[in-house]
Structure 1
Amino acid sequence: MARLDQLGWHSSRAFPALLALCAVLTTACTSSKGTADEKSESPASTVSAAPSKSVSMDPAEAAKAEAISAYQSYWTELPKAYAVPAIEGTELQRYTAAEALAKAQAGVANLKTLGQIMTGAPVLTNPTVTGAELDKKTPNVTISACLDVLPWKVIQKDTGQPAPLPSSRATKYVVIALVERWDDGWKVLKSTPHGDQQC
């Protein structure tokens, strides 16, 4: 029987420890621009149409929305990697860096060693910015959300049988992430589960 501790699951919470240091959900989201276009009408015979007007979102709020979108995309791409398991073929590296990427790579390696995959995906809800340092050289935000890992299953690849999990595990709890804005976009540096904080 595969050892779940090798995969990094806490015996009391049954959540990969590799995710504890990961820096975002269940629905695929692209980066939000945070604007609403209101195209002005112009006669069909007019050669030069009036330029489109837009209502700009406050820059700080736009930045927070982009960070949340990146976190959501992280939680879309991570299950894809664990379902193979392989980082290649996913956009995980687009949304992660530092500890988050290293832990994802370690998780993929552990799954391969154990002959396991993960099916389904966790459900991330109510991602909310709880802290922001947008004036720093490298802007960052802290995001708190609720994560439901019950739909995310560890499967033995050769048999298709689910791996046994501790009955006392927490399956829905608060996760807190640190996300930074790099030159090529927002990156999740880590995402820490708080199994003692149910949501």
Structure 2
Amino acid sequence: MTARQARPRTRALALCGAVGLSLALTGCGGGSDDTRPPTAPSTAPPAAPSASASASPVDPDAEVKAAVLEVYSSMWVEQMKAYRVASPDGTKLADYATLDALSTFERDLAHMKKSGTIGTGRLGHEPEVTELDLETKIPTATVEDCVDLSKWKAERTSGEVIPLPTAQPLRYVATATVERWDEDRWMVTAYKPDGSRSC
């Protein structure tokens, strides 16, 4: 069975170089203000609440999605540890990420180490499973994450703060592929930031 669900906002993760447009936030409200005098009170009894209102249906894949997000979030924690010291040493990043995803992170870390930079502050994110395919030979999930750079800083090891490029969006989308390699083990196998998608 393939489960797809639309979602009102996208979510993601990345640490360097993504470019996009910031999202304009708008609000709306309204309604008329009726100032006519009230009519005589009605003698009819108040209507009972409708019995047709029902709770939202339970997602049959909720447990699987929770397992996917647990692995993705664990990867995220280890990735942040690695970026704070520009090295995967002493982290469990390889326990949660592999293949293209792990290679992407290792390239980032090697570049950071070579340039003498580290990440500080807090990198926000809001992951969500947007696609789930449990019928393929290797069950696969897609996670979209909204990365928030507003409290994240890149610094040189000397302590000098490196400002973000002026075109750098503070919130943008990253997409991860997560695969189940055995009954109980999910792994993040691909990770791609998309600076053209704000969130």
TM-score, with structure 2 as normaliser: 0.66
- 1:116 paired residue number: 117
Going from structure 1 to structure 2, the CA distance change for 1:113 and 1:139 (only over 3 Å counts) comes to same
Question: Does the 8 Å CA contact 2:104/2:191 hold for their aligned counterparts?
Answer: no
Report the residue type matching 1:77 in the other structure.
Answer: E
Contact map agreement 1:173 1:195 (CA 8 A) in 2 = yes
Query: Alpha carbons of 1:92 and 1:61: their partners in 2 closer, same or farther (altered >3 Å)?
Result: same
- Percent identity among equivalent residues? 36
Shift of 1:58: 7.6
Residue pair 1:73, 1:95 contacting (<8 A) in 2 also? yes
Question: Could you tell me which residue of structure 2 aligns to residue 160 of structure 1?
Answer: 159
- Per the alignment, residue 74 of structure 1 pairs with 75
Following TM superposition, by how much is the alpha carbon of 1:71 offset from its aligned partner in structure 2, in angstroms? Answer: 1.1
Structure of larger gyration radius: 2
Aligned alpha-carbon RMSD (Å): 2.2
By percentage of residues, which structure has more helix? 1
Task: Give the Cα–Cα distance (whole angstroms) in 1 for the partners of residues 18 and 62 of structure 2.
Answer: 39
CA contact (8 A) 1:11 1:166 kept: no
For 2:133, the equivalent position in structure 1 comes to 133
Moved over 4 A (4+): none
* 2:184 aligned with 1:187: no
- How many correspondences in the alignment? 147
Residue identity matched to 1:93: A
Give a deviation string over 1:31-80, Cα, whole Å, max 9, x none: xxxxxxxxxxxxxxxxxxxxxxxxxx987331211011111112211111
Structure 1 unaligned residues grouped into runs of 5+? 1-7, 14-56
Structure 2's unaligned 5+ residue stretches are: 1-14, 21-57
Structure 1, residues 80-124: CA drift from partner, whole Å, max 9, x if none? 101112112111111101011011111111111111111123111
Query: Which structure would you say has the larger RCO, counting Cα contacts within 8 Å and 6 or more residues apart?
Result: 2
Judge conservation of contact 2:18–2:194 (CA < 8 Å) in 1. no
**1:102 counterpart residue number:** 103
TM-score normalised according to structure 1 size:
0.66
Asked if the contact 2:156–2:162 (Cα under 8 Å) also holds between the matched residues in 1, the reply is yes
